[in-house]
Amino acid sequence: MNGTRRRPWWRKRPALITGVVVLAALLAGAGFYARERAVFAVPSVESQKLADGTQLKFKTAGENVEVYRDGSWQPFFAQGVNLGATLPGYFPGELPIAKSDYLRWFGEIKAMGANVIRIYTRHEPVFYESLVEYNRKHADDPLYFIQGIWSPEEELISKQDAYDSDIESAFRQEIENDVKAVYGDVTLPEAQGQASGTYKANAGPYLLGWSVGTEWDPEMVANTNKKHPDNASYVGPFFATTAKATPFEAWLAEMVDYAAKTEAIYGWRHPMSFTDWVTTDVLSHPNEPLFTEDMVSVDATHVKPVQWSAGYFATYHVYPYYPDFFRYDDKTGKTDTYAAYLQKLKAYHKGMPIMVTEYGVPSSAGISHAAPLGRSQGGQNETEQGKVDAELTGLIHDSGYAGAILFMWQDEWFKKTWNTMPMELPEDRRAYWLNVLTNEKQFGVLGMYSGLTGKLILDGEDGDWDKLKPADKTELKADVPGIVKLEAAHDEAYVYLGIHLDHPFDPAKEKVEIGADTLPGGNRHGSELPDKTLDEGLETLVTIGSDRETGVKIAARYDMEKRLYGYVYGMIDMSKQELKDDSGLFNDWKLPVSLKMEPPDTKYAHPFEDSNAGKLRRGTDNPASAAYDSLAMWQYKGGFIELRIPWMLLGMADPSSLQAVSYDMPQKEFKTTKIDGIRFVPWIVDKETNEVKGLEAETAEGTYPATKLPKYTWKGWDTVTYMERLKPSYDEMRDEFEKIGGKPKTGG
C-alpha cells in the first residue's frame, strides 16, 4: 500500500499516498448485434437466455428482485455498501484507487456479508477489471454491483430546466459512456472530474441493476414541470410514462429508456431504476418547516417498463436526520419516525421493488443535523455508528424492502458539510487534511486515519511519545511550576500535546490550562486567567480538568459561530462586549445544527440550534481496548496527560498550508491569514484557592511575556500520510448482514 499514484493533468500538486454516441439502430426484435470491437473475454456467469438470445441474471418480480441461480429464479435481498472513488489526498475525478486496493476491499466487503456494492458514478477501468478478476476467483459467490449514472447536477441546478438541450445531450453522453464502460467497450479521454481510460473488462454479467441520475433539486423539478406542461408523456421502446406523469417524470422515463436502449445492444438486460431522495419523495410531510423539502414529488410509479424483461424498481436515499420532519413528526422523541417513514414509503410503492441505496450515520466529532433516537448526522463514535447503521439496516429489511445499501465503505477526506464549510479554506485543499468536525468525511466502515494514528495512542502512557522520532515532536517551553515537560506533535487531523507533571494529576483539585495564540489580538485577560494579563492575546483556550469541564473554548471576538450567524446574519446575539478585542470572554466552541428561519420563508418558526463542538471526551483510542472510543480526545495516568485537538478548534482553516481563520467578519465564508505557528501558553489553576501556577514573569508593564515563548511550528504539506483500518461499525454490519442472509422479507 505504498507508492506514488498518477495525478491528472488538471491538478499538478504532487501527492504521495502512504497507507495504503449516437446509438446504433436496434435490429428488429433482436435486442443486440455482434460487436465489431474485441473486448475482454466475457465472464461465464449462469443466466437465463431468452428466445432472442438476450441474457438475464437479475429481474424484478412483484416486490422482489430475483437472481437466476442453480437453474431457477430466487428472491434476492441486496445488502451492501456504497463504494467511493477516491482516497485521502485526492479529489473527485482524480480516482487514484489501485487494483490492489479494490481487490483487498472486495474481499473485506464480501467477508462483511455484503452481496452488492453500489458505485454512484463511473469508476476508472481498474475498478471493472478488478471486479471481474475477483469474481472469476469467487465464481461460486460473486460480488455484484449497482451502477449509478451521474446526471449533470450542477447544470440542472443552475439552469433549472431538465429539458435544456445541453443538459439532455450531456446526460445522454454520460449514460452511453457508463453503459459502454460496464461492458468494456469504450476509450474515454481524460476530462476534469470524470473517470477516463480504455475500458476492456466486461463487468456486465455481474451487474445487478442501473440507478440513473442523482438527488433531484426540488426547485429545478418544479420549474421543469411549470416550463414544459405539454411534455408530460413519453413512450419509448422499453419504458414509458403513465397518465399521471409530470413533465420531469417524462424526462426521466426518456433517460431510463435511453439507458435501456444502450444496454440492449450488448445482449443483456438488467433492472432499471432512477435515484430519488426524501426531498422529492411521494409523501406529504406537514411537519416539515422548509417549503422546498415538501414542494414537489418525483414518482417512480409514474414510469413503467414496456418491453424490458429485467424489470424496474424504485431507489431512495433515506437518512434518519434529514429533512427535519424526522424530528418534528414526534415531539416526544420516543416514536421511531424513521421506521414509520419506511413503512409509508413502502406501502405507496406496493407491487414494485424498492431499495434504500443510501442511509447511515458518520463517526465524526462534529454534528450538522440532530435526529431522534441517537441517529444524528455526527457525534457518534465508531461503535455507536455501527449500532445505528445495523439498526437502520434491520428496519429497512424488515419493512419489506428489496435492498439496503449502506453509505458507505470508506471515509472520504475531500467531503464538505454546510456548518464547517465556511471555515475550511482554501476549499481546494480539503482533501489534504482530516477535519473531524466535518461529518461527511467519516461515513465509512473502513476508516481512513491520519498519520500518527497507531503511533500515538491515547491511553495515559508516555512510551509511544518516547518512540517518536525527534523530528516528529517538539518540546515546548513551559516555565510552570508543576509542569516538567510539554511536548507537541501533529498530523493531518490533530495537534497532539503531552504534558508531564511532577505530581499525579488530580482533576478534582486542579485544572491545566493551555492558551493558544494563533493571530495578533485575542484575550489577554479573563476569569480563566485570575489576576493575570498577557502581553499578547489568546484565540482559544484548552481546559483540562474534570470530564465535564475539559474542552476548548474560543475568544468571544474570534467566535466563528457568533461572527457568522450573529454579527452577519442576526440569528443569535453577539453582544457589544463580545465584539471588543480583549473582551476577557471565552465562549463555548459551537457549531450550528439548525438555522433560525421564520415565515414567510418557512411554514412556521424554526429556532437556531447548535452543539458544543469543543468538548473533549476522555478515553482511549486504542482499538485493541474494550474501552475503545474513536472520539476520545484525552487521557491521563499518574503525572502524564495527553490530548489531541482537532485543527479547526485551534482556528485553522487549512493546516496543510498554514492558513488560519482571520478576525475579519465573514460574508458567506471567512477570510484567512497565513501564520508561522501556534504559541501554546500553559498554566495550572488550583481549584480551591483559584491560585495560578505559572505566568509569573512580568514585563515592565506588568504583563506576562507570552510573546517570549517559542511557537509550535510545522511545514505545510502536499503529501498525505494515512492508514486504513476497519471500524467496529464493520463488525456490527457483518452481524446484521449475517442475520439477514441475503433473503428478503417480502416473498423470501
What is the pLDDT at residue 94? 83
Cβ-in-10-Å burial (0-12, 13-18, 19+) of 502 comes to exposed
Positions of E strands within 648-748: 652-654, 659-661, 672-674, 679-686, 692-693, 720-726
Q: Is the dihedral of CA 227, 230, 233, 237 positive or negative?
A: negative
8 A C-beta contact, residue 68 and residue 356:
no
- pLDDT value, residue 40: 58
**What is the mean predicted confidence (pLDDT) over 279-293?**
97
Copy the grid coordinates of residue 263: 444496454
Q: Grid coordinates 473527485 are at which residue?
A: 92
Q: How far, in whole angstroms, is CA 480 from its chain's centroid?
A: 42
User: Mean of the pLDDT values across residues 164-192?
Assistant: 97
- Of 279, 276, 174, 164, the residue nearest 223 (C-alpha): 164
Least confident of 143-152, 332-341, 604-613: 332-341
DSSP state of 562: I
Q: Residue ranges of the domains in the chain?
A: 58-448+724-740, 451-719
**How confident is residue 196, by pLDDT bands cut at 50, 70 and 90?**
very high
H/E segment holding residue 396: helix 382-398
Res 67: pLDDT: 98
Q: Which residue has the cell 515546548?
A: 476
| Mean pLDDT computed over 72-78 | 98
Q: What is residue 43's predicted lDDT score, i.e. its pLDDT?
A: 75
Amino acid at 553: K
Eight-state DSSP code of residue 580? S
Q: Provide the H-helix boundaries in 112-233.
A: 125-137, 153-159, 165-182, 218-227
pLDDT confidence band for 8 (50 / 70 / 90): very low
Mean pLDDT of 424-437: 98
Cell output for 543: 481546559
| Region 58-448+724-740: CATH code | 3.20.20.80
Per DSSP bridges, beta strands 403-406 and 354-358 are parallel
Using one digit for the tens of pLDDT, what is the confidence trace for 627-666? 999 999 999 999 999 999 999 999 999 999 999 999 999 9
* Whether the model pTM is above 0.85: yes
